[in-house]
Structure 1
Amino acid sequence: MGKNFKMLAKTLFGFEEILAKELRNLGAGNVAVGTRNVSFEGDLGFMYKANLCLRTAIKIIKPIHSFPVRNEDDLYRKMYQMEWTDFLGVHDTFAIDATVHSDQFTHSLYVSQKTKDAIVDKFRDLEGKRPNVDVKHPDLRINVHIHQNQCNVSLDSSGASLHHRGYRTATNIAPINEVLACGLILLSGWDGQTDFLDPMCGSGTFLTEAAMIACNIPANINRKGFAFEKWPDFDADLYAKIVQASLNKVREFHHTIVGYDKAPSAVRKAMENVENANLSDYIAVKRQNFFMTKKQTEAPLHMVFNPPYGERLDIDMENFYADLGDTLKQGYPGTEAWFITSNLPALKFVGLRPSRKIKVYNSHLESRLVKYELYAGSKKAKHQKKPS
């Protein structure tokens, strides 16, 4: 086995504990929860596995250097002193992502520029040539994070955000981020042991993520690639073994996953994305208006969906949420229904009391993931004594 090193997995607000659990289940060492991130340790193969398999991670970065920094000249000097030839050649391209939370450093673009200057000057002085910047498809993506007077330099092993799973080529007006969708499904407790319904499925993201969880399919098996594949130490044979070992853990699924949408275009897009993910055997997509449906079986049903918020889709919010509550009450006994909304005042029109509310963010929108338990028969009736 190779030598273990520290890594950091970035995630969305509210998903830190789920990500930590995922990492422990994969076999990570020294897992520690932060804010929007989880640190852990593993070897090179584990870095490949983390990128391939983690469902709620957005990036996996590998810290390579950390130092105190006082000002821009100090930043330039210490960046220049780093051994960049260990990671980059003169004919390679690179890009820098910088984030700053500091009184001394207030502009992330300026930090990126200073870092770029230090790197290219170092190569010019050493080899008479310099690598070029390519912000879209670099051979090496460098992450610089300054918090007050501390600078952390890391290599981005993922490249494009890990929510780019690779299966979604068709989207609707308000598509949900794949990592967000998957995290919500995991927060809802879905484990593939019941039927699943997304009654407003849009482009089918919840359906696809639910099926991948149920079948234990690696989250990013459909991606075109990862940044680490361009690194000098990339081990193609090891990566192939990691992929095969992960695929060997795929399991069968013995329930149904169904999506409804009333728009024919959404149904077509959802079916296309499901097919791209090679999950057509597990998922059925139907043109249906949820408000005109009833539960199809007496078996327990798990429902997760993303109704319109009124942000990007214009709807009559009061009537919409009232209809939603009525449909659940009247047509879906024996169901755990979860949905996300940023329109918190609209929840009172549902006419049901949520048994859970979890604070999450959909992009910049503060939202709630709410749970409604629909009992088979009246909940009150179960607790009332029969008249003597």
Structure 2
Amino acid sequence: MNSNFKMLAKTLYGFEPILAKELRNLGAGHVKEGVRNVTFEGDTGFLYKANLNLRTALRILRPLATFKVFNEKQLYRQVHQIDWPSIFDIDKTFAIDTTMHSEIFKNSMFVSLKAKDALVDRFRKEVRKRPNVNSHDPDLRINIHLQENNCTVSLDSSGHSLHQRGYRIATNIAPINEVLAAGLLLMSGWDGRTHFLDPMCGSGTFMIEAAMIACNIPANVNRESFAFQHWLDFDETLYHKIIAASLNRTREFHYKILGYDKAPSAVRKAQENIESANLSEYIAVERKDFFTTEKTVEGKLHMVFNPPYGERLNIEMEKFYKKLGDTLKQGYANTDAWLVTANLEALKHVGLRPSRKIKVFNGQLESRLVRYEMYEGSKKGKFKSS
């Protein structure tokens, strides 16, 4: 099982180049960007390492078989030919997810059921028993992807989406997805070489992901499990070696990571999550209204935040975004300020010209990641445009 094989990592819109870079940095071979995915090659140890370390992957699939299908009988026959009893044990539960763009098959649920029948029948033929389906929390997830008549059957090595890092025990209103937060931080150029501030920190996701990037802590080290641990070929010794090697690559961080929120409940939740992630020594959270603050650290400040934009909180949008711009101008010299918002109209009221605007999606909401560069010294309060 030490030979290389093809894998596919799923990601969010626009994150493909970041994920490809992450994969290359980890040592993946034949990295190729797709649409909301990146394909690559590696061995079993690399599959474990990718699940543990990748910040911008949602899940990692290992293709088992690729074939052409023109009807349901062919689909059944091809799935039945896969040696399922050599992949997982009879006492493990499974679920099959289908994504499709096909004129031949109209219903993804039908495809999943047909594939389930084929898998179960293969078990009955080989071992006289069948494994059970668990659609909510299966030990094993199987992915079927149909593009017209091209079908790929894959094992989902991650199980639960990799945005479920395992550290978040308390949530605020509409907390930002951890993979989205990590990707936005990497897009902003955050590398842990300056001070960091999230002035509207909510439950603390940006701060936690920023600390993990700064210290090079594996993104999913706090997770309890991955689906590949239920595979028959799971190598526990190798897995623990990969964890140890990944943790050995952590580094010290010599700056401050700060978070403000004016809601006491948000501050409390952020502190709980930070403690759960074992990052209390790197992150400080204070109850403050950003609009009454100014920069408290020397040198460059990197700011990333997710202000309210009407979907989550009822606020006077025009007034709010104007105050946001005023606060940056008056109190935050020598700061790179990045914000993500789905309210594109509200950005017009900030009163600063952004030097970058990047299209991203926050869930289903088309959003913009926007950068405002604040000068220091005599140019305090001015801004730089590209």
Corresponding position: 1:79 with 2:79: yes
Corresponding position: 1:9 with 2:3: no
What is the Cα deviation at residue 91 of structure 1? 2.7
CA distance in 2, matches of 1:186, 1:35: 19
Deviates more, 1:80-89 or 1:312-321: 80-89
CA distance in 2, matches of 1:279, 1:218: 13
The answer for the alignment partner of 1:386 in structure 2 is none
What is the Cα deviation at residue 298 of structure 1? 3.5
CA distance in 2, matches of 1:121, 1:334: 65
The answer for the alignment partner of 1:169 in structure 2 is 169
What is the Cα deviation at residue 31 of structure 1? 0.5
CA distance in 1, matches of 2:150, 2:23: 27
- Equivalent AA in structure 2 for residue 334 of structure 1: N
The answer for the alignment partner of 2:21 in structure 1 is 21
Flag structure 2 segments of 5+ consecutive residues without an equivalent. Answer: none
The answer for the alignment partner of 1:193 in structure 2 is 193
What is the Cα deviation at residue 128 of structure 1? 2.6
CA distance in 2, matches of 1:37, 1:348: 33
Name the SS of the counterpart of 1:225 in structure 2.
coil
| Cα distance per residue 1:128-167 (max 9 Å; x no partner) | 3211101233232100000111000000000000000000
Structure 1 residues 255 and 185 mapped into 2: Cα distance closer, same or farther (>3 Å)?
Answer: same
Q: How does 1:197-346 map to 2 (within 5 A)?
A: 197-346=197-346
Q: Is the 8 A contact 2:329 2:380 kept in 1?
A: no
- Equivalent AA in structure 1 for residue 251 of structure 2: R
CA distance in 2, matches of 1:95, 1:319: 49
Name the SS of the counterpart of 1:137 in structure 2.
coil
CA distance in 2, matches of 1:110, 1:309: 40
| Cα distance per residue 1:262-309 (max 9 Å; x no partner) | 000000000000000000000000000000000113411000000011
Q: Is the 8 A contact 2:332 2:381 kept in 1?
A: no
Name the SS of the counterpart of 2:345 in structure 1.
helix
CA distance in 1, matches of 2:261, 2:104: 51
The answer for the alignment partner of 2:64 in structure 1 is 64
Deviates more, 1:193-202 or 1:124-133: 124-133
| Cα distance per residue 1:210-236 (max 9 Å; x no partner) | 000000000000001100111101111
The answer for the alignment partner of 1:348 in structure 2 is 348
Q: Is the 8 A contact 2:195 2:257 kept in 1?
A: yes
What is the Cα deviation at residue 312 of structure 1? 2.0
CA distance in 2, matches of 1:213, 1:225: 21
Q: How many pairs align?
A: 383
CA distance in 2, matches of 1:229, 1:129: 22
Q: How does 1:37-48 map to 2 (within 5 A)?
A: 37-48=37-48
Q: Is the 8 A contact 1:333 1:375 kept in 2?
A: yes
TM-score (normalizing by structure 2)? 0.97
User: Following superposition, which runs of at least 4 residues in structure 1 exceed 4 angstroms of deviation?
Assistant: 379-383
CA distance in 1, matches of 2:162, 2:3: 25
- Equivalent AA in structure 2 for residue 18 of structure 1: I
What is the Cα deviation at residue 82 of structure 1? 2.0
- Equivalent AA in structure 2 for residue 91 of structure 1: D
Q: Is the 8 A contact 1:358 1:369 kept in 2?
A: yes
CA distance in 1, matches of 2:381, 2:354: 16
Structure 1 residues 323 and 131 mapped into 2: Cα distance closer, same or farther (>3 Å)?
Answer: same
The answer for the alignment partner of 1:160 in structure 2 is 160
CA distance in 1, matches of 2:381, 2:234: 61
The answer for the alignment partner of 2:365 in structure 1 is 365
Q: Is the 8 A contact 2:352 2:383 kept in 1?
A: no
CA distance in 1, matches of 2:340, 2:224: 30
Q: Is the 8 A contact 2:374 2:381 kept in 1?
A: no
- Equivalent AA in structure 2 for residue 26 of structure 1: L
TM-score (normalizing by structure 1)? 0.96
What is the Cα deviation at residue 379 of structure 1? 7.7
What is the Cα deviation at residue 380 of structure 1? 11
Q: Is the 8 A contact 2:330 2:380 kept in 1?
A: no
Q: Is the 8 A contact 2:375 2:383 kept in 1?
A: no
Name the SS of the counterpart of 2:154 in structure 1.
strand
CA distance in 1, matches of 2:90, 2:200: 51
Q: Is the 8 A contact 2:372 2:383 kept in 1?
A: no
CA distance in 1, matches of 2:382, 2:132: 71
Identity among equivalent pairs (%): 67
| Cα distance per residue 1:58-110 (max 9 Å; x no partner) | 00110010000112222112212222222133332211111011111222111
Q: Is the 8 A contact 1:298 1:334 kept in 2?
A: no
CA distance in 1, matches of 2:383, 2:325: 21
The answer for the alignment partner of 2:379 in structure 1 is 378
Corresponding position: 1:104 with 2:104: yes
Structure 1 residues 194 and 107 mapped into 2: Cα distance closer, same or farther (>3 Å)?
Answer: same
Q: Is the 8 A contact 1:20 1:38 kept in 2?
A: yes
Structure 1 residues 326 and 132 mapped into 2: Cα distance closer, same or farther (>3 Å)?
Answer: same
The answer for the alignment partner of 2:123 in structure 1 is 123
CA distance in 2, matches of 1:350, 1:168: 32
